[in-house]
Structure 1
Amino acid sequence: MIDDRTFVIVGAGLAGAKAAETLRSEGFPGRVVLLGEETERPYERPPLSKGMLLGTAERGSVYVHAADWYRRHDVDLRTSTPVRALDRTAREVRLADDSTIGYDRLLLATGAEPRRLPIPGDVTYLRTLQDSDRLAANLHEGARLVIVGAGWIGLEIAAAARERGAAVTVIETAPLPLHRVLGDRLAASFAALHAAHGVVFHFGRQAAEFRPDGVVLDDGTVCPADTVLVAVGVRPRTDLAEAAGLAVDDGVPVDSRLRTNDPFIFAAGDIAAVDNVLLGHRVRVEHWAAAIDTGEAAARAMLGQEVAYDRVPYFFTDQYDLGMEFAGWIPPGTDPELVIRGDLAAREYVAFWHDKGRVLAGMNVNVWDVNESIQDLVRSGVEVDPARMADPGVPLAELTQ
């Protein structure tokens, strides 16, 4: 059967690449155009702050597909091709060279970009493969790295830098790293981990000035640096959607089928604020698993398949000898209780956040092959006795029974 439809994907990151893959694996025979601003073909971002900096990941291992995959699957991948505008009436995307491509269905997977600080100076941000290459070249014995921001990316980079022999200073406005995400007890554990590896923290402080020789804090303290990295989060790249008149809030709101307020346009990845039918909320997640899951779901919805997005948010981190997986979501305004199963001091435990016994999220630290059970527990919605949650003698799989 001839299918002359054209599906255009704007954004050649992980979400866009998985959407293109899904379109072909589901049998779509029409034209697929994948447009990316970067010179690289689609790649995964987690190694940029982990294996690429440590030198344990080969550069070629970060790509989503082999170089010839797009040709073999008849996907028109165009790198170094920014999209300037969307014409929703004509159903066209306008490229930077003023040419246009018509679409029958359009997927926006434009991702996110680092939040910038309004302070002049020569600083580094980590978002692209080239950013990771440049940063890795500066991490060596005797180098001095100052990181502004003690979130997940900042801490991963701090760990990699220390393992490479660099001196690391971290500046954070909060009283502890990851404080807003993890709360006092767990955040203190991450602070102790990094302090034990020689990281110097300045909590409750912010950068006031970037100088060639380092960073001046708001209390006048000078932190010497050869490299300054700013890691204060990202913002969804919604400018294209907003200029086209699509609804934009915290990202691009989409229904459970990943569809925007325009029935011909879908969104996936970091920009997609998805109506998650499991969680009963609209949720935007800036992590690797969400890029895969939303990209695949959006592709199936573009094909007209029944889709009701219900994935449990998931992410992971590696810092020194600590490995962690987190699954779940804590609604804003919720004040859940924390239960620890295992040995927090030894950093071998599972943490549960629950609301009256109903598990909202779980985090396994150096405890493996349990995240599927944690996701089952989140998904079940059953009320569990906190004493059973905390008891390592009760198998996790039995908590849903």
Structure 2
Amino acid sequence: MNFVRRPVLLLSLILATWMLGACSILPWWEPDVPDQVQRPQGPGNSRWVPTDWSELPGFDDDKLHEAWNAWVRNCALPHPAFAPLCPDIRRLSLAGEAQKRAWIVDNLEPYRVESMQGSAQGLLTAYFEPELEGRRQPEPGFAVPVYRPPHGLERGEAWYSRREMDTNASARASLRGREILYLADPVQAMLLQTQGSGRVRITEPDGTRRLVRLAFAAHNGHPYRSIARWLLDEGEVRDASWAGIQAWAQRNPDQVDALMHRNPRVVFFREEPMDATAAAAGPKGSQGVALTPGRSVAIDPQSIPYGAPIWLVAPAAGLRRLVFAQDSGGAIRGAVRADYFAGWGSEAGEWAGRVRQNLQMWVLWPKAS
């Protein structure tokens, strides 16, 4: 039996020796590993390409002090990769521009964001926080309700559509008593829902007036459909800004409900008080920190993690600056995709309505220790 086993053992040793030798030469014939290796690993739907600071257009010209408050706010709920840097970030709040820029270069590395297909070009849009008038009780001229999340709404499950909320008796019953306040018309309500938050100056039943914020609380689980896109595609308007949509609604009052029903998604809100501190910042984004006008963006969290600093370049919009991934949205999908928070009020709204520009982004990530 031993004589029989020896050739088998010898053959096994020869085979093992050959395999070890083959493994040692594998790199010789394997294709080169490209520079586009994700380092660090992106969240799944984007590719991060390590690059040099010189590739970032306008990096030496940004007014970093304008961005630093947003970065400090990030440190209230930091991404784990950035938590060790937060003491420095807070300490540098009063530092000069050169010192801030040098710290960024010393501690972070830039990665160009690309789609999984290798495209570095994407889309920038913008959003804002509208300022509206409201009433606590319905009255002539203020009859469009804004709702809290209704009873029976379950996260991840589709509830009644917008049309059903207007026509279905069960849906109407579920909404009864969930009214927060009333706005002047359906276009204002759609504007509030599309932007995801708003400032409303309420007139209470006793005549007192106060400013509140309506913040996003939930939605009905249906897909978002743009009424502006439909009006453009049908040739109904050339100006698809909110002012243009409002003008169309005034010309076509009998078609307004049908237009609204083309977007089945409905957003529900919660009311938040507005003191001086809250009024000086935007609403809380998906990260959980207050948004900073001009320095906060909504991104696809499957491509860029919340809290990440981003170098954003959109030349047609005049933007080459440091921003932060602090929010998300139902229409913000893809690797190179951002929705830029413009602030609040009519001026911010007019600017945001014009933004639909080509975009490039670089994630700035902590250097490996």
- TM-score, normalization: structure 1? 0.22
Larger helix percent: 2
Give the structure with higher Rg (CA): 2
Pick 1 or 2: higher relative contact order, CA cutoff 8 A, min separation 6.
2
